[in-house]
């Protein structure tokens, strides 16, 4: 302020130096009228559209609602993808998601008995995938499903082996399932070209290894026959299904006699 005191005279002269003419009164009133008309138009537009969102969702509520909508969208999309991935086969884009979901299911299944049931269901799914791949000549990726199948069977047998006092009925049911799965694999083997044999043979070998682990004393080639086992057969649910007894897979067809590793004499012919 002290510095500006030196300029008092200049400031005074400057303040009085306004030399702009007054605006034309007619044009001024015309501008005023236009301005107020424009304001009235804008106001009426605002009255017509009172649902102007920025006034409904004000303050902190708006970001919360936005985040909620995004979450719902993400969850909806994720559910759709998981649902679509359920029917994916090896080689499909969604197959890794299908396997990921199965891994999560297994992670949340801590009871050994429940885990066995789930693993059997997953093994059935691998066979179903193999069967579908055989039908569409997807032999080159069939080994992915078959190797996963083998790993699943070995895990089942290891769980059974860890607890020798395992429920007799459950063990019998496992035997039944393994026998049926072997039959299905043999059937598939009769319909695919030779290049698919190694994968199928590894899967069948895994069944035999599993059966030997479950029944260490019984090392015969065909240790368990479904017809020879007592008790009611149990079918296993599809992973993620709420149906506790959905029935056996509809695509189950009894295969040719089991004589591994000899290839079928009359592939594709009548059994």
Partner 1 sequence: MIRGRKEPSAEEQDLLQRSRKLDEAALSAVFDAYYDPLYRYVYRYLRHSQTAEDVTADVFRNFLEKLAAGKGPTEYLKAWLYRVAHNLIIDEVRRNKYREHEELDENQRASEPQADRQAESSITKQMIHKALQTLTGKQRDVLILKYLHGFENEEIAYTLRMNVGTVKALQYRGLQSLRRYLSKLRIFGEEDL
CB 132 within 8 A of CB 188: no
CB 234 within 8 A of CB 168: no
Residue 38 as a binder of partner 1 (CB under 8 A): the answer is yes
> Within 10 A of 8 (CB to CB), how many other CB atoms are there?
9
Position among 45, 62, 114, 248 found at the interface with partner 1 (CB under 8 A): 45
Q: Smallest Cα–Cα separation from 235: which of 164, 181, 166?
A: 181
DSSP output for 102-153: HHHHHHT--SHHHHHHHHHHHHHHHHHHHHHHHHTT-HHHHHHHHHHHHHHH
d(CA 13, CA 259): 116
Shortest Å, Cβ 93 to partner 1:
44
- Residues in contact with partner 1, counted by CB under 8 A, come to a total of 35
Residue 163 as a binder of partner 1 (CB under 8 A): the answer is no
Residue 137 as a binder of partner 1 (CB under 8 A): the answer is no
Residue 27 as a binder of partner 1 (CB under 8 A): the answer is yes
Rank residues 11 and 61 by Cβ distance to partner 1 and give the closer one: 11
Binding mask 49-88 for partner 1 (x = CB under 8 A): ---x-x----------------------------------
Shortest Å, Cβ 63 to partner 1:
17
Residue 39 as a binder of partner 1 (CB under 8 A): the answer is yes
Q: Which residues bind partner 1 (CB under 8 A)?
A: 3-4, 6-7, 9-11, 13-24, 27-28, 31-32, 34-36, 38-40, 42-43, 45-46, 52, 54
């Amino acid at each position: 302020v002290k510095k500006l005191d030196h300029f008092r005279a200049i400031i005074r002269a400057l303040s009085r130096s306004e030399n702009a003419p007054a605006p034309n009164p007619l044009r001024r009133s015309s501008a005023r009228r236009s301005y107020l008309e424009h304001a009235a138009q804008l106001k009426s537009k605002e009255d017509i559209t009172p649902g102007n969102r920025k006034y409904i969702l004000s303050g902190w509520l708006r970001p919360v609602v936005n985040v909620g909508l995004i979450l719902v969208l993400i969850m909806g999309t994720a559910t759709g993808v998981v649902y679509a991935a359920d029917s994916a086969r090896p080689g499909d884009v969604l197959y890794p998601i299908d396997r990921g979901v199965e891994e999560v299911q297994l992670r949340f299944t801590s009871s050994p008995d429940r885990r066995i049931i789930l693993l059997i269901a997953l093994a059935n799914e691998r066979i179903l995938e193999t069967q579908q791949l055989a039908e569409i000549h997807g032999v080159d990726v069939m080994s992915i499903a078959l190797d996963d199948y083998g790993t699943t069977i070995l895990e089942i047998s290891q769980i059974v082996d860890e607890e020798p006092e395992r429920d007799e009925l459950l063990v019998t049911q496992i035997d039944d399932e393994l026998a049926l799965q072997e039959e299905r694999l043999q059937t598939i083997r009769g319909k695919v070209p030779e290049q698919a044999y190694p994968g199928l043979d590894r899967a069948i070998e895994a069944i035999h290894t599993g059966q030997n682990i479950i029944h260490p004393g019984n090392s015969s080639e065909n240790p368990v026959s479904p017809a020879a086992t007592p008790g009611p057969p149990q079918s296993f649910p599809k992973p993620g299904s709420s149906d506790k007894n959905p029935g056996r897979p509809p695509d189950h067809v009894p295969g040719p006699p089991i004589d591994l590793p000899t290839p079928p004499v009359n592939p594709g012919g009548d059994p």
